């Protein structure tokens, strides 16, 4: 895929402009967004993602178009799972509704930064070390098993980093400081709950970046598609948080569905690694004649899994309620 410098510059410029506009809107009027506001913004972001995918299809070929849509849906699904952690963090620190938009925006910007770093590292690793696909594949399979077993995320808000901050730094649970990261109390400077919220968001974003980047590199090896799929997956996440609300709690099988998708992509990566094998202790350093999973089939599996996950979750919660 030949991506020109102009395409990269325009993509980065538009991304920064949208983030700046979002930050400006939130900064001028902190509030809990209305349903109409969320639906409008989310519809625009999804329409932009679909339009971009169609443009990639037309400008660079159908193969890359399919790779973008498969990567975008996978990253979007992982981002929705990320919302569960955001909800737990907000509840754990009792973040007032009027401050949640700002906290979410910080979390999304941090997620974009971390993913950008790991995208660059992943691209270099793939170029220099073909065997990295073995590592990515095994990592995704292990992550899938962990995700399938840990569906509650009970310890995600009060993680090790946050506990260390509470233990060794001067902190306060009082939200009277608002969005400030520290307040003065006499001669002491106390770190506010907002500081701890951002710390919790940063550490969980880092962990999610480690999980998500190998997943999308299993669907496309093009850094441009990896980056744009992640950008579009994170756009509208803040609005989705307020729009879905209690519906997130009804997606009881989301973790299992995502675990299946990650395991599927992990197997796809391992098969690709065997097909391109250069490790001397595997088949004498020669490629292994195993079938590879085409991206179009991967897209179909991802879409079908997400649909079945949502239907099964809603049926289960409806039956429990009845």
Task: Give the mean model confidence (pLDDT) for residues 7-24.
Answer: 82
- Would you place residue 154 in the very low, low, confident or very high pLDDT band (cuts 50, 70, 90)? low
pLDDT at 151 over 60: no
Output the six-digit token pair for 124. Answer: 């270099």
**Nearest residue to 171 (alpha-carbon basis) of 198, 189, 148, 159:** 189
- Residue recorded with tokens 């907002």: 194
- Would you place residue 25 in the very low, low, confident or very high pLDDT band (cuts 50, 70, 90)? low
* pLDDT tens digits, one per residue of 233-285: 888 777 787 776 656 667 778 888 888 988 999 999 899 889 888 888 888 88
Residue burial 206-219, b: 16+ Cβ < 10 Å; e: rest: bebbebbbbbbbbb
* pLDDT tens digits, one per residue of 62-76: 999 999 999 999 888
Query: 3-state DSSP helix/strand/coil percent for the chain, to nearest 5?
Result: 75, 5, 20
Q: Terminus-to-terminus CA distance in the chain, angstroms?
A: 52
pLDDT of residue 246: 58
d(CA 78, CA 213): 11
Give the global pTM: 0.80
pLDDT at 46 over 80: yes
Radius of gyration of the chain (CA): 21
pLDDT cut 70: percent of the chain above it = 91
pLDDT of residue 70: 92
Cβ–Cβ contacts within 10 Å for residue 6, how many? 8
pLDDT of residue 150: 66
- Would you place residue 225 in the very low, low, confident or very high pLDDT band (cuts 50, 70, 90)? very high
pLDDT of residue 316: 87
DSSP state of 177: G
pLDDT of residue 66: 93
- Residue recorded with tokens 């949640």: 100
pLDDT cut 90: percent of the chain above it = 15
Hey, which of 40-54, 152-166, 182-196, 208-222 has the most confident mean pLDDT?
40-54
| Beta-ladder partners of 182 | 191
d(CA 202, CA 94): 18
Residue ranges of domains in the chain: 5-321
d(CA 146, CA 156): 14
pLDDT at 24 over 80: no
């Amino acid at each position: 895929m030949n991506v020109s410098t102009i395409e990269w510059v325009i993509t980065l410029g538009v991304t920064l402009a949208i983030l700046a506009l979002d930050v400006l809107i939130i900064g001028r009027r902190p509030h809990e967004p209305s349903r109409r506001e969320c639906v409008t913004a989310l519809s625009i972001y999804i329409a932009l993602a679909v339009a971009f995918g169609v443009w990639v299809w037309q400008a660079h070929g159908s193969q890359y178009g399919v790779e973008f849509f498969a990567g975008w849906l996978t990253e979007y699904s992982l981002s929705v799972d990320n919302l569960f952690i955001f909800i737990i963090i907000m509840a754990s620190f009792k973040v007032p509704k009027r401050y949640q938009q700002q906290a979410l925006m910080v979390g999304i910007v941090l997620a974009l930064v971390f993913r950008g770093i790991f995208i660059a590292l992943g691209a270099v690793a793939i170029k220099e070390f073909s065997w990295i696909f073995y590592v990515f594949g095994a990592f995704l399979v292990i992550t899938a098993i962990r995700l399938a077993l840990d569906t509650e995320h009970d310890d995600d808000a009060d993680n090790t980093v946050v506990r260390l901050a509470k233990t060794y730094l001067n902190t306060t649970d009082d939200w009277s400081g608002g969005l400030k990261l520290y307040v003065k109390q006499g001669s002491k400077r106390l770190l506010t709950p907002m500081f701890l919220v951002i710390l919790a968001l940063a550490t969980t974003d880092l962990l999610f970046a480690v999980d998500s980047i190998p997943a999308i590199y299993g669907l496309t090896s093009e850094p441009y598609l990896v980056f744009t799929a992640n950008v579009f997956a994170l756009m509208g996440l803040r609005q989705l948080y307020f729009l879905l609300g209690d519906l997130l709690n009804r997606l009881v099988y989301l973790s299992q569905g995502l675990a299946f998708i990650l395991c599927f992509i992990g197997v796809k990566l391992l098969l690709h690694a065997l097909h391109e094998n250069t490790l001397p202790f595997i088949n004498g350093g020669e490629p292994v004649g195993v079938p590879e999973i085409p991206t179009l089939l991967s897209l179909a599996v991802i879409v079908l899994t997400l649909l079945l996950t949502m239907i099964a979750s809603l049926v289960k919660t409806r039956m429990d309620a009845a």
